[in-house]
Every structure is written in structure tokens, then in C-alpha cells.
Amino acid sequence: MTHPTSTFDSLPTPVRPVWLRVCALLVCLLMLPFAHATRIKEVASIEGVRSNALTGFGLVVGLDGTGDQTTQMPYTTQGLSNYLKQLGLTLPPAQLAQLQMKNVAAVLVTSQLPAFARPGQALDVNVSSLGNAKSLKGGTLISTPLKGADGEVYALAQGNLIVAGAGASAGGSKVTVNHLSVGRIPEGAQVERSVPTALQVGESLNLSLNASDFQTARRVAEAVNRRFGAGVAQAFDGRTVQVRAPINPNDRISFIAEMEELPVQTSVAAAKVIVNSRTGSIVLNQSVTLGACAIAHGNLSITISSTPVISQPNPLSGGQTVVSEQTSINIRQEAGQLIQIPAAAQLSDVVRALNSLGATPQDLLAILQAIKSAGALNAELEVI
């Protein structure tokens, strides 16, 4: 009986050692720390090319009796008075104080003015109630100027609100789905003034890394120099890379477009554990490792119960019924078992080791801090 011949057996004898060395090299490459190949545009941005926040005070009208109570919200009445004056209508102060406009709500309008925005471009706006309006559903935002940090008007907002929610109330009961006091107007604002961007100024431009990392800054500079020539880019620090760019505007745009598409190898992120103390959320990245340690964790519970005790006087004694409370306090502490945690070199091993404790997320907050203090957690612990 003949056995099938494998591909390796069919190779000539002198070729086999070479084949084995190639396989060994591939295995070694796979065992190297994993590096992510991304484009420069995904790890850095052009310094100065950014959006600007816009905000403005406005009024939403046409509400179905769910607006502000103007007697409690004077700025709603004042805002309406200022708007009517612009239309040529003036009401005496006494009449303004008596108005009960339940179909008007004072709102704050916010938006983002993107880089290179030109007059006439449409922007999305968010509308949020400033007073005690019950709902903005079905309302219309009247013309509202949106100002920047310098106090200048850069856009005008107006339109019908979209409120993703519903609510009903009757007989003291109330049911609400989502927030009714916040709405959105797609393309509800129009740009009136552009913000100049210093993209075509000077002989060079700066690349600002999304995260400070000296290794990434060095690799970005090397990628640019490898494509456009030595000395074109140089890293200033862990976040800034200065790049010499063409003076001609069209050539500079083409240079930036090609530079942003260059691949760059980003280093593995620093080991970090993010702890949200408000929600109890814990997030670990792939670089977190754990040293061998032993943990004993027990739960302490305190229970306080109060039972009413009624003391009644004898008949015809003239006494009064007295109600007192009998309080019982019970303290219970569970036995803490000493658990040995092995050293974990990968994120999956760390997760498996922490799950073996059987602790709640709130307990893990204290356990991780204790492990860090003991020197067994090889990561930066950040509490947000």
C-alpha cells in the first residue's frame, strides 16, 4: 500500500532547510507585538483646521399649550417683546406682565460651524428648552442669530423642530418617552459669515496628532520624508509634526491630499484602565497585563429595620394612644476567601482572572485600585 506524498516530502533535500527557515521566520513575525497600519489622516489633523461652536437665544412658537409659564419665566416675555419690537409692535409693560403665552418657549440654539464653511451653506442645529416648557413637539423656531466666541453672528437658524419623543398626562399620572424638551432641525441654519483658515499661510503646516505619542510622531515624519524627500517633515514633540508644503494653493491641496493617505504604523497604546466612578463602568485596553497576586474580598451588609409599635391606654383611663418604633440593626459580613490570581500576559487572561473573583463592577473598582497599589496591575489607572 502506498502512502500519499506530502508537499514537503516532494521538495528536494537542499531546499528543505530553506523552507524550514522561512516557516520559522513567519512564525516569529506573527509573534511580534501587533502594530496597526493606518493612514496619517486617521491619527493626525491639520493644525487650525477645525470647527467652531455657535450658540444663540431663540423662541419656539406654535406649541399646543406646553410652553413656558411666562409668569415664572421673565426672559421668555422679554425675548418675545424684543422680537415684536423688531417687527414694529410695542406693548406696554403692564400688558406684557399679564400675558399667559403657553404656546411660546425660550430655547438655546447650538450648532457647529465646520472648517471652510461658506455663506449659504446649511447647518444642523440643536434646540434645548431654557424654561419650564413641558414639550417642544410641534413647535417652530423663529429667526435666531447664532454667534461665535467673538460675539459676531455667523449663521441664522429657523425652522420646524423634530422631537423624537412622546408624552401624555391625566389625573396626576404622567408618561414620557425620551426627552420632549430637546429637538433638532436638520439643515435649520444658514451660514452668513465664513471663518478664515490659515491653511495657505506660510511655508509649512503643522500636523497635530490625536494622542500624544513620540513613537507615532516619529513614524509620521518618516512616512512623509520617505514619500516626499528627506527634511520635508520633522517631529517637534510627541504631538506636533511640522511639514514643509508647496506655496501654490492648488499644489498645497494636492500635497495634503496625498500626505493624508500615506500609511503609518502606530505603536501599541499604553496600558490603561478607565474607571467611571459614576456608572461603575470599567474599560481595559489590549496592553493591560496582570502580575501574580492573591485577593480576599468579602461583602459587608448592614440592615436596619423599623417596626411601628402601638400602645393603647386602658378603657376610661383618659390616656392617649402612643405610636412608637422598634428599631433592629443587623450587621452581616461574609467570609472572604483568599483567591490566587495568576499572572496574565494578555487581555483575555486578565478578564478571565477578574471574572473568577465573582465581584460586581462596584467591587471591582476597589479591587483594581488595591491591585494597582500592590504593584500587580501593569497599567495606568484613570478615574473619570
Write the pLDDT tens digit of every residue in 163-200: 886 666 655 566 666 678 889 999 999 999 988 888 88
Provide the CA 235 distance to its chain's centre, in angstroms: 29
> Which is more confidently placed, 263 or 265?
263
Asked whether residue 322 carries a pLDDT value surpassing 50, the answer given is: yes
Asked whether residue 384 carries a pLDDT value surpassing 50, the answer given is: yes
The residue with cell 508647496 is: 246
- DSSP secondary-structure letter at 139? -
Q: How far apart are CA 44 and CA 42, in angstroms?
A: 6
Asked whether residue 295 carries a pLDDT value surpassing 90, the answer given is: no
Amino acid sitting at position 127: V
Task: Report in angstroms the alpha-carbon separations of 144 from 86, 111, 188.
Answer: 13, 12, 10
Give the pLDDT score at 243. 92
Q: Which three cell numbers stand for residue 246?
A: 508647496
Give the pLDDT score at 99. 65
Phi-psi region of 144 (alpha: psi -120 to 50; beta: other; left: phi over 0): beta
Burial class (CB in 10 A: 0-12, 13-18, 19+), 151: exposed
Burial class (CB in 10 A: 0-12, 13-18, 19+), 325: exposed
Amino acid sitting at position 61: V
Give the pLDDT score at 7. 44
Q: Which three cell numbers stand for residue 206?
A: 503643522
Strands of the sheet with 240-244, listed across from one edge: 44-46, 204-209, 240-244, 233-235
Assign domain 198-266 one CATH number from 3.30.1360, 1.10.1760, 1.10.287, 1.10.10: 3.30.1360
CB 164 within 8 A of CB 21: no
Q: How far apart are CA 194 and CA 170, in angstroms?
A: 49
Q: How far apart are CA 333 and CA 298, in angstroms?
A: 7
Asked whether residue 120 carries a pLDDT value surpassing 50, the answer given is: yes
pLDDT cut 70: percent of the chain above it? 73
- The pLDDT tens digits of the residues spanning 61-97 come to 988 888 877 667 777 777 877 888 888 878 776 666 6
Q: Once rounded to an integer, what is the mean pLDDT over residues 18-28?
A: 49
Phi, psi of 248 (to 5 degrees): -60, 130
Give the pLDDT score at 49. 87
Q: Which three cell numbers stand for residue 232?
A: 520635508
Q: How far apart are CA 32 and CA 24, in angstroms?
A: 13
Specify the domain boundaries for CATH 3.30.1360 within the chain: 198-266
Phi-psi region of 77 (alpha: psi -120 to 50; beta: other; left: phi over 0): alpha
- DSSP secondary-structure letter at 98? H
Phi, psi of 69 (to 5 degrees): -85, 100
Q: Which three cell numbers stand for residue 30?
A: 506573527
Give the pLDDT score at 98. 63
Asked whether residue 8 carries a pLDDT value surpassing 50, the answer given is: no
3-state DSSP call for residue 184? strand
Amino acid sitting at position 28: C
